[in-house]
Every structure is written in structure tokens, then in C-alpha cells.
Amino acid sequence: MPKQRKSAKILSSKTAFKGKIFSVAIENIQDPEGNKGRRDIVHHGGSVVILPVDDSKAEPRVLLVRQFRQAAGQYLWELPAGGRDGKENPLAGAKRELREETGYTSQDWKRAMFFYVSPGFLDESMDVYLARGLKAGKAQPEDDEFITKRLFKLTDALRMVRSGKILDAKTVAGILWLQDEVRSGRFKRR
């Protein structure tokens, strides 16, 4: 049985900023051990990440997207991802994001990982889904998304991680997860 999650008591909370994608709150809390303190928390509705894999060849190929990221000040190769729409089911969000950003759809979905992005100040969580049985289609990006897509052999994606050509944390985690699945024999060609 999973451990019961303890939570802090919020003594006071004030929204300092509310934007389209996230809000920032100043919270005075008392943690489960009774310690009091101030926390500046970025509240985000959660994200979905897709690890699209073409396993029709001897070596799996990972579909990555490249786009300019203003916060990083550069173009980044990443796994397709996006925010969940309201109370959207994570798998439904993953299917939507894959189709919108890449045009691909998938026949086979598996939840690979769940993690918090940076829990020291951000409540954003990410659900990562492995998508197999890919079928190409027409992308439907949002008006402000300018995306290039490309399939990379897993060994090439791993080389990009090691050389610093892939800098996005969710992508590094997804590629390393896939490498572990392949090495362990849990990932089998379809």
C-alpha cells in the first residue's frame, strides 16, 4: 500500500501573477513537521510528454521536435510535449499533443514515467508516454509554434545527450529510460 502523502498547511496565500500558462503564489506555510516559512510557488496545470518510437527497423528511432525556446535562448531538440487542457486526462492530452505537433498518431500507448519538473518552487508534473506503432499525418501546430520534426536512431539520440546537443531535461530522461528498456530486454520490436 502506498505511503500516505503528508501536506503542508497553507496559512496564507496571495496570487502575485496570473498568466495564460501558470500563476505565481506567495504562500506562508506550516510543513508536516510544524516548521513555518514562506514559499513562492509557480502553479502549473501539468504537462504531458510523448516518447514516440518507430520500432520498424532493427534499432529503435525516436521522433524529436526542434523549436526555439526563448527561456533557453536557443533552438532545442525535444520530445513532443505540452500542457494539459484543464482537467484533461493525461493520455488524451498526449495523443492530442503528438498529433498537433508532429502529425503522427500511435496505435500503442504506455505510461513510462511520472515526475515533478522542479519541486522546489514549481508544482508542474509530467506524465511521459511511450508511443509505438506510429503513423505519419499532417501536423496541426498552434499559431505560435514553428516546429521541425525528425526521427533519430536511439544511438544517435544518446550521443546527442552525452555531447550536450540535447539539453532539455524531459527529453534526456525519456531517452535514458528508453535506453534502459532496450538494454534490459523489456523493449521488444513489434
Task: Please tell me which residue, 5 or 47, carries the higher pLDDT value.
Answer: 47
Helix (H) or strand (E) holding 67: strand 61-69
Give catalytic status of residue 78 as yes or no: no
Q: Of 27, 88, 100, 145, which one is the catalytic site residue?
A: 145
Digit-coded pLDDT (tens) for 29-78: 999 999 999 999 999 999 999 999 999 988 999 999 999 999 999 999 99
Digit-coded pLDDT (tens) for 104-129: 999 999 999 999 999 999 999 999 99
CB 157 within 8 A of CB 62: yes
User: Whole-structure pTM over 0.75, yes or no?
Assistant: yes
Grid look-up 520530445 returns: 79
At 190, the pLDDT band (50, 70, 90 cuts) reads confident
Sign of the dihedral through C-alpha 48, 49, 50, 51: negative
Task: Copy the grid coordinates of residue 18.
Answer: 496570473
CB 130 within 8 A of CB 101: no
Query: How far is residue 188's CA from residue 190's CA, in Å, rounded to a whole number?
Result: 6
- C-alpha Rg value of the chain to the nearest Å: 19
Task: Work out the percent of the chain whose per-residue pLDDT is above 70.
Answer: 97
At 1, the pLDDT band (50, 70, 90 cuts) reads very low
pLDDT of 3 reads 56
